[in-house]
Amino acid sequence: MTRQLIEQAADIIAGSRLTLALTGAGISVESGIPDFRSAGGLWSRYDPEEYATINAFRSDPRKVWNMLREMDQVVNRARPNKAHLAMGELEAIGCLHGIITQNIDNLHQAGGSRNVIEYHGNASTLSCLWCGRKYTAEEKRDEAPPTCQCRNVLKPDVIFFGEAIPEEAMRRSYELASSAEALLVVGTSAVVSPVNTIPSIARGNSAKIIEINMERTHLTDSLTDIFLQGSAGEIMPLIVEAVKEKKQSS
């Protein structure tokens, strides 16, 4: 990573009338949340077919909550890191107009971002699949598993395998991506469908793609204009400072 690449990325963002970010598990690793697919992630201990499908939850929600309880403890301890805070600041100065996140940890909002599209839902609220009542995760934290007034086990408002992506999230993300002039791809390899179409939709509008990842991805040599290799917690604050300097001097 060179200073020149940071400056180039800042030039793109400062000159863009609509800048989006697409984020994945990699941005939250520095907050202590392992990628589910990593060696230390949930899928190394819990088979997704057994624990992460909507059919598994409907058939045995108490079993699924063995995995969900572990996930909840990790997410509940996490705090926004420098990358989340930098994105909140970038939004506050008018240079980031939306975040499309695959994460369910609420850390973008905790980091100050307001315009967040949660593609895979959010773990901070719970719903009853049977009667429709809703609760905050906090008010049910002492129940194992959390139970509705109707005595059925509650489900966190995250998208399980086999469930549809929320229609409004898809509509808004495609609408924004097709109008974007710049797209930050941060902490995601963008291989999970259908969110992996966002970069190509943005590119279809001639958006510049700025990728921040620890490793190269399939996007790096096909769609990415600027690849910044390294930790989002280190790189995002540098970009924000460079953008602020350009805004002040213009």
Tell me the average pLDDT of the chain.
Answer: 93
List C-alpha distances in Å: 144 to 42, 148, 177.
19, 12, 40
For position 136, what pLDDT does the model report? 95
Q: Is residue 130 in a domain?
A: no
At residue 238, the pLDDT reads: 98
Same domain, 179 and 63: no
Domain match, 28 and 103 both: yes
pLDDT above 90 for 111 = yes
Residue 120 bears catalytic tag: yes
Number of domains in the chain: 2
Q: What is the CATH classification number for the domain harbouring 146?
A: 3.30.1600.10
Indicate whether 214 and 195 sit together in one domain. yes
Do 89 and 25 fall within a single domain? yes
Domain that holds residue 175: 3-33+79-120+165-249
Mean pLDDT (whole number) for 233-238: 98
Q: What is the DSSP letter of 53?
A: B
Say which of 84, 97, 108, 120 is annotated catalytic: 120
Q: What is the pLDDT of residue 110?
A: 96
**Shared-domain flag, residues 145 and 92:** no
Exposure string for 155-183, b = 16+ CB within 10 A, e = fewer: bbbbbbeeeebbeebbeebeebbeebbbb
Q: Which of 158, 188, 204 is the last residue of a domain?
A: 158
Residues 89 and 194 in one domain: yes
